[in-house]
Amino acid sequence: MCNHDLIAFTEGSTTGVRCSYCDYSLVTTYIEPIYEDENTYTITLEAGNTADQQTIKAISKITGENYIFAKRCLENTPIEIVKGSAAEIIELKKSLDLCGIKYSITPEFPY
């Protein structure tokens, strides 16, 4: 090593330090905390959602159920619609946010 400053980096699933001068590096595997989270999270539909076609379609896709089931969920809020790991829930959260659907996640979802 050439005694220049080391710069910390994370790229994909690799993390480490790299020399700012000669590109010497020391690396290890990096796993994002969301993939190590062992909690089971629950998404609950909250009151105040409209039962329009876009919302029903989104709920149907998230639950894997038909439109009738999704509409009943919207009419009977609050109601738990899905449970899953943090990595699964974050994807569903993105879909709900895109559609403007009111929901909550328990336990507290830090991602």
**Would you place residue 3 in the very low, low, confident or very high pLDDT band (cuts 50, 70, 90)?**
confident
Q: Which domains does the chain have, with CATH numbers?
A: 1-30 (no CATH), 35-106 (3.30.1390.10)
Q: Kindly indicate the confidence band of residue 33, based on its pLDDT and cuts at 50, 70 and 90.
A: very high
Tell how strand 6-11 and strand 14-19 pair up: antiparallel
Helices (H), 24-85: 33-36, 53-63, 67-75
**Mean pLDDT of the region 79-88:** 97
* Residue 2 confidence (pLDDT): 82
C-alpha neighbours within 13 Å on the C-beta side of residue 63: 22
